Amino acid sequence: MKLFIKFDINTVCSQFLKEKLEERQINYTPLGFGEIELDKNLTSEELDCMKNDLEPFGLEIVENQKSVLVQKIKDAIIEMVFMDENGNNLKSSVYLAEKLNHSYGYLSNIFSEVTYSSIENFIILQKIERAKHLIIINEMSLTEIAFLLNYSSVAHLSTQFKNTTGITPSAFQRIIKKRRENLK
Amino acid sequence: MKLIPNFNSPLALRIIFAISIFILLFITSVSYKHNRDLQNSSKLMMHTYEINIQLERLLSFVKDAETGQRGYIITKNSRFLAPYLFSRDKVNRSFIKLKKLMNDNPKQQQNLKNLFDLIIQRYTYLEGSLKYSNEKTYDKRKLDNCMFGGRIVMENIRFQIDEMNDVEKDILQKRQKIYQSEISLTPIFSIILFLVALSFILLSYRQISNDLNRLKVFNKKLLISTKLMAESEIIGAFSTWQWDMDSDKIVYSDNQYRLLGYPPNSFVPKKETFLEYVHPEDKQAFSSLMQGIIENKQLPLIYYKVIRKNGEIRYFKTIGKLLIDEQGSKIMLGITFDITEEHFQNIAIYERNKELEKSNKELASFNHVASHDLQEPLRKIQTFISRISDDDMNSLSESGKGYILKIGTSAKRMRILIDDLLLFSRTNTTKKEFLKTNITDLLEKAKLELSEIIQEKNAIILADKLPKLHVIPYQIEQLFINLISNSLKYSQPNIAPKINIFCEKITAKEFPDLLEQSIKKYYKITFTDNGMGFDPQFKETIFVLFQRLHTKTDEYPGTGIGLAICKKIVENHKGHIIADSTPNKGSVFTIFLPE
Amino acid sequence: MQKNALHILLADDDEDDRLFFKDAFEEVKIQTKVQFAHDGIELMAHLMHPETILPDILFLDLNMPKKTGKECLIEIKKTEHLKHLIVAIYSTSSSEEDIEDTFIQGANIYIKKPSSFDALKKIINEVVTLNWHYHTSGLNRDTFLLRLK
């Protein structure tokens, strides 16, 4: 049997974090964008324990201030891309600047410094990631996907898809389908 | 098709004959009855005449008696008395005869009885007159009475006889009338019946002779077709045989004997002789097959070898079918082919195929060599050149730097050549899967592939609606990519490229020189551009591998392989491609794809 | 950005290619630790060794003696503790069949060996950056496909 699971990564993470922290009886207040405020200061030992707890699940305690901001930018972008209504219509620079209370230029610089890639690239990457997801679910045509992701045309989506992954959307679909058949 | 001609219904013929015979019998019986009637009629006549005569005679006897008596009375000579004396006896005999004759008629008998009474009366008068004329007993009055009474009785007798004669005549006439009508009717009736019977017989004669003629024709045809069959068996190197499964009687066609190397009918085929000629290697398979025939009444296709009388080995193929005729007897009909020639041809073809396969494999391995082994050192040359740092370059002499640059350019060109060569050979070696595809979709894909350069050059591509065809999709896509990119590459400077794609359905007859005529209908798709065009004298050569119309400058890069690939792709689809151009106006590429 | 260096493993029988690869990584901004396997058998032995720290990205040449890259790939994808490795095919071949086939077998990246050092550096940079994004931004690795020319 095969199931497609549609998930919201933010809910998964916050739910998971909640469980882990409650296990250790640490009270906290979520501030959004992966930021939480603890009620008490932890010892370095306790902090290490928590790190070890979260690491196998891909959760990481970000210590550097710039990294924190980059993580916030990323989260904001993901939220923007995966938001179905109108989100994609907003101009991303405006959206990010408003959301994070920093000038876009500043955000862009920090992002490039830390990740060696641009915010624009990261947005494209995420959009393509969403496109991949939609292609695999196979509920929408390419035209509908292009519309949903705010591309001017299928050609535009296909071009960007190919530029980002090196393969066309149809080749991608074919490869994933054959991979699944292979696994059976 | 009717296999057996209809030889007109023996049943109908039989009916015709039965009717004819019946009519003849009827005529015979009618004639017989007719004859009988005639006989009866003459008998009746005789009978009537006889009665008539007898009655006349009776009368004459009475008259004789009267005359004699009268003579005696006059002469008194007893000699005259003799007829009178004898007449009684004669009258008696005559009466007996008449009685016999009138046995069948009660009315006449009554008349006869009356007559008899009258005659007796007459005789009484005669005796009286004789008595009263005698001298001894003479009495004139009484004699006169007797004489007179006698005369009156005589009158009555005559009257009676006439009446009787009339009755007889009446009967005769009536009967004769009946017979007459019968006799006069029968001949007409008989003649009609006879004619009918005759026409029936004639009709059936005609039918029979017709059938005979047809039989003759069919017999001739049968003879010819049997001959032809025998001939065709010889020409086609095959034979037929029949095996009656019930009686185990086997019949070979003449050619079966010949195929086995014997003159026709030189031996009597038996179940056992089947196996005799089979090559030892195939004996086992063959005998199990025979078992199969006997048990399952089936003979599937079998290939085997036989050894002829002269020791020659021939390759045979036999197949059989069980036929059950109307009587329910099972006959295995077999056909045996001598496939020796085909067998050896097949071996030759098989070997040639193997060779082809081998050379195909070699081609594929060439592909591999080209894609890996040839590229590997070339890539390293290029990479090593790229690793020569600026510092290294600076320490070289000017000519040294030039050489390095030239090595780089050559290596780059070699790479393009290898890549294109690969692309070209792949259009032929990769799997050719024909799928029903919407050609418009393929054009869209091609445009998508070229979207960057199309945007960059501000090109306009307008296309008709294209059909759905059985094609190798990626190849047609490649074809479109090559044609469009060719047009874009050779566009006129400062003029936005414009490509018009038209499509129409045409018949092969319209282009007898270009198209394969065995395919009836084609789609003609034309790509018209407004590019720089080319000299029409090169319209054939531009499709030749590595043929370039431009010098090897950076302005128009390429190896001259794109159009060669186009040609190859179109040929893969059993189509055709042509080009034409007016320099500085544009080019037209026309492709024909079978419907 | 990272405390720990990125672990890179290249399986390639060609000495020159290993050299180019090593030099290119040295010039890339990201801190990396590059290891080599000389053929398929050595690669599999290395990966199967319990003490081996698995690489973040495995670069795999297809055309290797003893055991081809494709065989290694299939084996890796069948091995429980290896099947989530990010595998980048690193090959001379540009045949579409090879590309699609290796993707279907589970490769994430297909790199046609470039013919200049700069191109190589650019490609390595791109791969590492993208991989890092996949690593840090919750992207779905199962649908991580990248073809570089």
Q: What is the pLDDT of residue B237?
A: 84
DSSP string, A61-91: ---SHHHHHHHHHHHHHHHHHH--SSGGGS-
In a domain, B491, yes or no: yes
Same domain, residue pair B395 and B251: no
3-class SS of residue B436: strand
Using CB atoms, pick whichever of C95, C114, C117 lies closest to residue B371. C95
Which of C141, C143, C144, C147 to mutate: most A Cβ within 10 Å?
Answer: C143
pLDDT at A32: 61
Interface probe for A, chosen from B433, B448, B451, B456 (most Cβ of A below 10 Å), is B448
Residue C117 lies in a domain: yes
What's residue B83's pLDDT? Answer: 77
Model pLDDT, residue B484: 92
Measured between alpha carbons, how far is A145 from A151 in angstroms, rounded to an integer? Answer: 9
Considering the domain architecture, whether residues B501 and B587 belong to the same structural domain is answered as yes
What's residue C4's pLDDT? 62
B519 is written with which tokens? 């395919």
CB-based contact B448:A158 (threshold 8 Å): yes
Put simply, whether B158 touches A (Cβ < 8 Å) is: no
Task: Indicate the pLDDT class of residue C88, thresholds 50, 70 and 90.
Answer: very high
Domain around C143: 6-148
- Domain count of chain B? 4
- Residues 412-441 of chain B with CB under 8 A from chain C are 415, 419, 422, 426, 430
Share of chain C above pLDDT 70, in %: 96
Q: Are residues B250 and B300 in the same domain?
A: yes
What rounded mean pLDDT belongs to chain C? 85
C139 to A92, C17, C132, C133: CA distances (angstroms): 20, 31, 10, 7
CATH of the domain at B566: 3.30.565.10
**Which of B429, B445, B463 marks a domain boundary?**
B429
What pLDDT score was predicted for residue B58? 82
Per-10-residue mean pLDDT, chain B, length 595: 50 79 83 81 80 83 81 80 79 83 82 84 82 78 82 85 84 79 72 83 84 90 89 87 83 86 84 79 83 77 86 87 79 87 91 90 74 81 86 85 88 83 73 83 86 86 87 88 89 88 87 81 90 84 72 56 86 89 88 88
Q: Examine residue B228 and state whether it is found in any structural domain, yes or no.
A: no
Interchain CB distance below 8 Å, A115 and C129: yes
Rounded CA gap, B316 and A80, in Å?
Answer: 79
Whether B223 is covered by a domain: the verdict is no
Helices and strands, counts by H and E, chain A: 9, 2
User: Can you give the pLDDT at residue C89?
Assistant: 92
Evaluate whether residue B51 is within a structural domain. yes
B195 or A87: whose pLDDT is higher? Answer: B195
Burial of A45 per CB tally in 10 Å (0-12, 13-18, 19+):
exposed
- Whether residue B194 is found in the same domain as residue B330: no
Task: Output the furthest CA–CA distance in chain C (Å, rounded).
Answer: 40
Same domain (yes/no): B158, B186: yes
Domain identity same for B124 and B32: yes
Cβ contacts (< 8 Å) between B433 and chain A: which residues? none
- The fourth-level CATH superfamily of domain A66-183 is Homeodomain-like (1.10.10.60)
pLDDT at B129: 79
Residue B227 covered by a domain: no
Q: Are residues B28 and B157 in the same domain?
A: yes
Q: Which residues of B touch C14 (CB under 8 A)?
A: 376
Residue B219 lies in a domain: no
CA distance B319 to chain A (A): 45
Number of domains chain C is built from: 1
Co-location of B435 and B392 in the same domain: no
Give the residue extent of every domain in chain A: 9-61, 66-183
pTM score, whole prediction: 0.56
> Which residues in chain B have their CB less than 8 angstroms from residue C113's CB?
379
The pLDDT, as a whole number, for residue A176 is 87
Mutate to test the interface with C, among B386, B388, B393, B429 (most CBs of C within 10 A): B386
Q: Is residue C94 part of a domain?
A: yes
Q: What is the CATH number of the domain that holds C13?
A: 3.40.50.2300
Closest to C105 measured CA to CA, from A176, A179, A136? A179
**Residue contact B379–C63, C-beta within 8 A:** no
B to C CB pairs, distance under 8 Å: 41
Tokens 């009665």 belong to B51
What is the domain range of residue B355? Answer: 342-429
Identify the pLDDT of residue C1. 38
d(CA B404, CA B396): 10
Would an 8 Å CB–CB cutoff place A117 in contact with chain C? yes
What is the pLDDT at residue B220?
92
User: What ipTM score was computed for the predicted complex, to two decimals?
Assistant: 0.84
The pLDDT, as a whole number, for residue B352 is 93
Residue A31 has pLDDT above 70, yes or no: no
Average confidence (pLDDT) over C25-42: 85
Q: In sequence order, what are the beta bridge partners of B36?
A: none
Position B3 in a domain: no
Q: Which residues contact B188 (CB under 8 A, 6 or more apart)?
A: none
Question: Is residue C1 a part of any domain in this protein?
Answer: no
Q: Do A78 and C149 touch (CB under 8 A)?
A: no
User: What residues in A contact C103, CB-CB < 8 Å?
Assistant: 167, 175, 179
Question: How big is the A-B interface in CB pairs under 8 Å?
Answer: 9
Tell whether A158 is within 8 A of chain B (Cβ): yes
Contacts 24+ apart (CB under 8 A), B110-117: B111/B160, B111/B163, B111/B164, B111/B167, B112/B164, B114/B160, B115/B58, B115/B157, B115/B160, B115/B161, B115/B164
Q: Is residue B214 included in any domain, yes or no? A: no
> Could you say which residues from 419 to 448 on chain B have a Cβ atom under 8 Å away from some Cβ of chain A?
447-448
Domain boundary, last residue among B429, B453, B486: B429
Domain identity same for B275 and B142: no
Quick one: pLDDT at residue C2? 42
Distance from CA of B448 to the nearest CA of A (A): 6
The pLDDT value given to residue B549:
60
**Smallest Cα distance from A98 to chain B, Å:** 34
